[in-house]
Homo-oligomer: A and B are copies of this chain.
Amino acid sequence: MKIGVFDSGVGGLTVLHALLDAIPQADYLYLGDTARLPYGSKSATTIARYAVSSVHFLLEQGAEYLVIACNTASALAMNDICAAVSTEVLGVIEPGARAASALSHSKNVCVIGTAATVGSHAYQRALAKLGVNAYEKACPLFVPLVEEGWTEHPVTEQVARIYLEELAREQCSNGNGKADVLVLGCTHYPLLKPLLHRVLPPDMQLVDSAQATAHDVAQHLGLAANTRRREPNIRFFATDSVDKFRLLGSRFLRREIAKVELITLPE
Q: Which residues of A contact B (CB under 8 A)?
A: 34-38, 41-43, 46, 140-141, 143-145, 147-148, 154-155, 158-159, 162, 240-241, 244, 266-267
Docked pose: A35 CA to B145 CA in angstroms: 22
Task: Please state the number of chain copies in the assembly.
Answer: 2
* 27 sampled A-B residue pairs with Cβ under 8 A: A34-B42, A35-B36, A35-B46, A36-B36, A37-B41, A38-B38, A41-B241, A41-B244, A42-B240, A42-B241, A43-B241, A46-B240, A140-B144, A140-B148, A141-B141, A141-B144, A141-B145, A141-B148, A143-B144, A144-B144, A154-B158, A155-B155, A155-B158, A155-B159, A155-B162, A266-B267, A267-B267
CB distance from A86 to the nearest CB of B (A): 26
Chain B, Cβ-Cβ closest to A241: B43
Give the chain B neighbours of A145 by CB distance below 8 A. 141
Residue of B nearest to A115 (CB): B244
Tell me, in angstroms, the Cα distance from A140 to B148 when the chains sit together: 7
What are the 10 closest A-B residue pairs judged by CB atoms, nearest first? A267-B267, A144-B144, A46-B240, A43-B241, A43-B240, A35-B46, A42-B240, A141-B144, A155-B158, A140-B148
User: Within the assembled complex, what's the spacing in Å between the Cα atoms of A141 and B162?
Assistant: 17
Distance A147 CA – B46 CA, assembled complex (angstroms): 20
Q: Given the complex, which residues of B lie within 8 Å of A46, measured CB to CB?
A: 35, 240
Q: How far is the CB of A63 from chain B (nearest CB, A)?
A: 23
Expressed in whole angstroms, the minimum distance between the Cβ of A263 and any Cβ of chain B is: 12
- Contact partners of A244 in chain B: CB under 8 A: 41
Tell me the nearest residue of chain B to A53, going by C-beta: B267
Q: Which residues of B contact A37 (CB under 8 A)?
A: 41
* Alpha-carbon distance A21/B159, docked complex (angstroms): 36
